[in-house]
Structure 1
């Protein structure tokens, strides 16, 4: 009888552990630092689940298989908070979900589903400002004794004029409405406490340290030490960001923080004094838009020099703030393939903006008054099917405005997942191939990096190494045929395999056509 009781107790204990949401064995392993590949989603434009043509959380959840199979490890969402702006920066509430994206329950279900797929989730946070309609502003306007009176910065003692974002008292939304944006006083103790508790909720909503329904990382938008260089919100690295990040990591030790450094430079101060884990490789992205070998080499060396051990650079060709890469390179497929290969082979953690893998196009509009509408072309609906208007397509921007009448996406234009999955030579298949190689070759993720062919030729040569594993990338960035000038010892000292076509690589220093990519590796 005692043995039966013991066996029963053990069985019940095993059942409790195996069904517990905090039991590690119940979830796939998530990517470690340096192994991550980010997929940035502009929610409103990704996938509509309820027929209103607005992308939403349930739409993203329904496409997690696609995201996982693409070969990425981590999803970066643009802001989820309610806002009068379509991009949901400048919030009117912080601990809330944009109603058109779904509910808090939909959000938590998405996090659980992403984790079940082995995907990490990063949230984009921008709370240095509030938009008109936020309770802090509404309650304190012309009321210096309001409970929120000191949450915002004011230009007058009567609190009737809020300190604006940059120097714009109002900013035009894409629908033409003028909307105010005010600066938050981030040095107020009550404000610091509020945002720390807010972020603790997003990363650990059950307040138990498990993070089972919590975000795995944060992107800090427009991060600065002296916000907008006004001398009003200053010393933020030491007084605001660093203690907050420490408190978050005390709760979730694996949490990672990615900063959008506001100056779009190399990000040294953000990595060292701001204590973030990653910054965006903006100078490298600029060099890659021009496919300029000297500029690429210069950016790589600067990044290597200023990035401390344990910190990293996020490599990207596109994001929600810049023009689509395919449009930047003039719809040139060879250049798009070259840019993708360089981004995904280089040392760092790559980011793919939704639809980049399809070669979606888009450039800021130049023929309309300045408003948030000018960047809608780089935020058009993800192309799931050849028919732009097929169910699920998030074409929320329909209308008579230029961002619709002059849109880039057109039905049956060849730039859709449906069309490209059926085409072996499509850009989508190129990305799948490169991402599969990145998953399978440790030197791409964690290896060292050497710049070869360091000469005045147009051939960019990058060697990635980890132990006895090597990958050599060669890309002819010139306008005429070229031969890579490689060390004869390197050429003859390894058995090279053609990673793109399989089999023996042949003569790895053979002639390269303009924009041709050659990718070889050791077995």
Structure 2
């Protein structure tokens, strides 16, 4: 965001003020301008704060589907290590591992031991090797941490269910068979499940009993768990179901009391983890409106996923119409900045393990998939890429279909490292949709992702800068245009979302000046000529 914080200069035609008043005015101006800690762009008579968001590109990995090194058909931690050079070549600076702890489910979101590694994935030593090798390549690693609920197979729950006098009884929510309870579950179904002569609370599913965060021992344990994994070398956590710690019921999930309780818990969690790693990165899954998300950025999370933006970007790519991202993001960042004191980083994405894959949403249109990537990777914050999106993997719910094996090889029968735990029904032609098929194709979707991430890593304004609207004159709904800037650099992003060539007239915009030199281009031999630039179909340009 850009904020006018000081204005007014003395012009030569102005009548002189008494010297005391002039000195007081100068002191006030100096104090006001120096009070802001934000970097800023200086212009004559004005100062604009720059909402810089130092960032890197993150890559979400479902370990089970990624790469298999022991031949059992299941991806493993050593498989992630084996593909770190691929990820480095792609340009990512961080990876998010979906749950890697023991679980009776294939996905791992119902944990049975918070201090162990799922044996399907390897050992603690394998994890430590992965973390060390990632850090050698300047790649950060965060882990999915599921604290809202455990598995019914967790020893805590088993002891609590078997014995009403167990110290673990208060770690969960139990009710008598005839006891009056709220039944409007926050995710749509009755959250109470029968066990013996009573019931227990499990908002998402009967196999996932909710923990009771009013119990101090639960809070202490979860902080210790987080500290344990930081000590192994993780850089932070993606926090699952973050708004449901207290948000169990539809009628109260967004009440002030529930939001305040959630916020206080996550603040306590962040504080506890900071004792081990002051720079720990926490990103929360809060699938809700800006007003619900914002309070979590106050000393609780560093980031929250931008679900609303994801939908806008995909609709824009599909409809070939500008999503006006700068306008909506400035509104969001004002709210986030006020809540966090400016200490937040956005987390844009296109899809994740809970949503239909990009290529399926876009009906297999590769040009539209490239456009979506162009939008995502030129916006502020830490962009998150779901594994396989960079090669155009397809998948529609149910969940297994959107978590299919990553395709590495062109051969139908797979090859070294190919996971086979799940039959690939959505991606049946690896001669087109695989890393091998696209790696040396300069026109491939993979090459497009690599190009864009490369630009982002090379240009500080794209990587770390704020965003400002750039209004085309005349307006053009088929072209996205916005300024990305740090205090020292500013660039203009132009994206033609349409299949038609578009002629754009550039203009000077204060305080950024004019833009007249193409410094990055998806198409060759395009330049600014006499203040105009001709954009080929589905092209993206960075102009300085």
Q: Which TM bucket (shorter chain)?
A: 0.7 to 0.9
Aligned-residue CA RMSD (Å): 3.0
Q: Which residue in 2 is equivalent to 1:175?
A: none
Q: Which residue in 1 is equivalent to 2:372?
A: 339
Q: Which of the numbers 238, 242, 246 marks the counterpart of 1:226?
A: 246
Q: Which moved more, 1:252-261 or 1:478-487?
A: 478-487
Matched, 1:382 2:415: no
Q: Which moved more, 1:488-497 or 1:132-141?
A: 488-497
Matched, 1:443 2:466: no
The whole-number CA distance in structure 1 between the counterparts of 2:520 and 2:264 is 52
**1:274 and 1:86, CA in 2 relative to 1: closer, same or farther beyond 3 A?**
farther
Extract unaligned runs of 5+ from structure 1.
1-31, 172-177, 205-212, 365-373, 399-403
Q: Which of the numbers 298, 304, 309 marks the counterpart of 2:333?
A: 304
The whole-number CA distance in structure 1 between the counterparts of 2:527 and 2:137 is 35
Q: Tell whether the 8 Å contact from 1:152 to 1:162 is kept in structure 2 after alignment.
A: no
Taking structure 2 as the reference length, what is the TM-score of the superposition? 0.77
Q: Which of the numbers 494, 502, 507 marks the counterpart of 1:487?
A: 507
Greater RCO between the two (CA within 8 Å, min separation 6)? 2
| SS, match of residue 492 in structure 2 | strand
| SS, match of residue 133 in structure 2 | helix
- 1:165, CA displacement in angstroms? 8.6
Q: Which of the numbers 221, 246, 254 marks the counterpart of 1:194?
A: 221
Matched, 1:321 2:343: no
Q: Which of the numbers 73, 82, 103 marks the counterpart of 2:93?
A: 73
- 1:250, CA displacement in angstroms? 2.6
Q: Which residue in 2 is equivalent to 1:214?
A: 233
What is the CA deviation profile of residues 255-306 of structure 1, one whole-angstrom value per residue up to 9, with x for unaligned ones? Answer: 1110111426575434445621001111111101101424635532332222
| SS, match of residue 100 in structure 1 | coil
The whole-number CA distance in structure 2 between the counterparts of 1:191 and 1:493 is 56
- 1:121, CA displacement in angstroms? 0.6
- 1:86, CA displacement in angstroms? 1.1
The whole-number CA distance in structure 1 between the counterparts of 2:177 and 2:526 is 76
Taking structure 1 as the reference length, what is the TM-score of the superposition? 0.80
| SS, match of residue 170 in structure 2 | coil
**1:295 and 1:450, CA in 2 relative to 1: closer, same or farther beyond 3 A?**
closer
Q: Tell whether the 8 Å contact from 1:271 to 1:311 is kept in structure 2 after alignment.
A: no
Q: Map residues 267-286 of structure 1 onto 2, 5 A cutoff.
A: 268-273=293-298, 275-286=300-311
The whole-number CA distance in structure 2 between the counterparts of 1:456 and 1:437 is 25
**1:264 and 1:71, CA in 2 relative to 1: closer, same or farther beyond 3 A?**
farther
Matched, 1:469 2:489: yes
Q: Which residue in 2 is equivalent to 1:500?
A: 522
Matched, 1:420 2:408: no
Q: Tell whether the 8 Å contact from 2:56 to 2:383 is kept in structure 1 after alignment.
A: yes
Q: Map residues 101-116 of structure 1 onto 2, 5 A cutoff.
A: 101-116=121-136
Aligned length: 459
Q: Which residue in 2 is equivalent to 1:241?
A: 266
Q: Which of the numbers 212, 216, 221 marks the counterpart of 1:185?
A: 212
Q: Which residue in 2 is equivalent to 1:408?
A: 426
**1:60 and 1:317, CA in 2 relative to 1: closer, same or farther beyond 3 A?**
same
Q: Which moved more, 1:494-503 or 1:64-73?
A: 494-503
- 1:77, CA displacement in angstroms? 0.6
Q: Tell whether the 8 Å contact from 2:526 to 2:534 is kept in structure 1 after alignment.
A: no
- 1:201, CA displacement in angstroms? 0.4
**1:383 and 1:162, CA in 2 relative to 1: closer, same or farther beyond 3 A?**
farther
Matched, 1:38 2:62: no
Matched, 1:92 2:112: yes
- 1:416, CA displacement in angstroms? 0.6
**1:448 and 1:272, CA in 2 relative to 1: closer, same or farther beyond 3 A?**
closer
Q: Which residue in 2 is equivalent to 1:519?
A: 541
Q: Which residue in 2 is equivalent to 1:9?
A: none
What is the CA deviation profile of residues 30-55 of structure 1, one whole-angstrom value per residue up to 9, with x for unaligned ones? Answer: xx972221011011110011111111
The whole-number CA distance in structure 1 between the counterparts of 2:75 and 2:83 is 12
The whole-number CA distance in structure 2 between the counterparts of 1:89 and 1:430 is 33
